[in-house]
Structure 1
Amino acid sequence: MKRIVIKVGTSNLSDGETILSEAIERIARSIARLREKFEIILVTSGAVASGYTKLRLDKSLISHKQALASIGQPLLLETYRKIFESYKILNAQILLCGHDFDSCSCTQNAKDTIEVLLSNKVLPIINENDALATAELKFGDNDRLSAHIAYYFDADLLVILSDIDGYFDKNPHEFPEAKLIKHITSIPEQNLKTTYDPHGHFATGGIVTKLIAADFLMKRGKKMFLCNGAKLEDLEAFLLEGIQRSGTIFGESK
């Protein structure tokens, strides 16, 4: 059975003020369908946004952001737990930081845990340990973290859900004539350094962090699919039927 990592961004979960349970419901429904064919690992953002619903702190301060994450993480996972329970899916929480991949033993321990969970039909839900991380908070809304998870935990594909339909030749939020690029096999170095602010109120990444994630995987023979989290029917069509209605696939065709 093929293994897929699905990364959900804050823009897919929050309207800028609250975590939207109906958004998590849609994601859970889609994952329930995909699990019939694939092993799924879910990487979720949203802890800071979830914490902000209970305590309004200035998110520009790292200590405040960490405090919000520590408040929001259990709230976010409890929402996931309740919703996935209706689909008879048991989930488990794993918190990781960038330095966990610097140690062979830490990486192997995390991988062993993932293998046990997946073999017992448990859905691993992974988030960055934002309550303790500092530099890791700048990874980019879990984009680079999810790429590491896909590579080190032997996934066949990373799916990043975003607020746009894929990778365009220019910013679609500013240029209506922007064209979707459906397949990319290499990324110019300058595109990995372009400044592009995140669209969402709480998002810490943008298109550049997604390109960095894709570049990391492509250089290691892996693939990534970038698509719109509001169009999960397109994701299901791509994964279950091999039909690419939208989205961008990064990597060589096989």
Structure 2
Amino acid sequence: MTLQDVPVRATTAPEPAAAPWAEIGRALMVVAERDLYRQFRHPGSLAAQAVQVVFFLLVYAVGFDGMIAAVDGVPFSAYVFPGIIAIQVVTLGVSSGLSYAFDREYGALREMLVAPVPRLCLPLGKVLATAVTAGAQSAVMLAFAPMVDLRLTPFSYLTGVAAFTATGAAFGVFGAFLATVITRVQTLQSAVQLAMYPLLFLSGSVFRPDSGPAWLSAALKVNPMTYAVDGVRQLLVSSRGALPWWLDVAVIGGLTVVFGVVLRLRVGR
């Protein structure tokens, strides 16, 4: 038997198997747990967020209540209360991309990329942490609804918490998308601040969206937060919505899918 007769085995390494769903779920939980732990290690930021909510509540829900009696038969303080919570939740969601940008710039993201899971798990893990934080904060804030003459049943309370959790996740995907488009942390911070003003104040969060002039109504319909506020308001307040509820769900869900697909293309496999 000669050397030529010996079969030669292929030396190329086999293609790595796709990460099973259990491993992907575990990776999402690890990234989310890391972000949640980092948040609770800085109670000052949580206190600042609480002060911001109290400020909006005192100025809009309480301060203007004596000037505006009711909206569609609902006390003004009760009418704007879901919008005030939405301000906090959307701010949390859009700003969550900063965490992804910091990890990318200071090396932590590079270490996590060694894990044999899809890269999309990293931003989606942060979106999961944002959703959990948004749900927890909305659960606390909705507990104070009776103080603004908003009476909630156990079902409407849980539905409201679920809606705000989904809203936080949707805008968390948008925040992660921004973090993949704008690579410098300082530029991203400025972009987030610039995006927040039209998102918050052109959303109908503290006024009825269809009560202004035609140009303002048109601007509001371009703002995705308008649909989130209107949808949650229809769930919690016995008032007719400015838009059909199915349109609110379709717009928020459609934009989440679009930004999720673009995010997948940006981060790679």
Normalising by structure 2, report the TM-score: 0.26
Greater helix percent: which structure?
2
Larger Rg: 2
Greater strand percent: which structure?
1
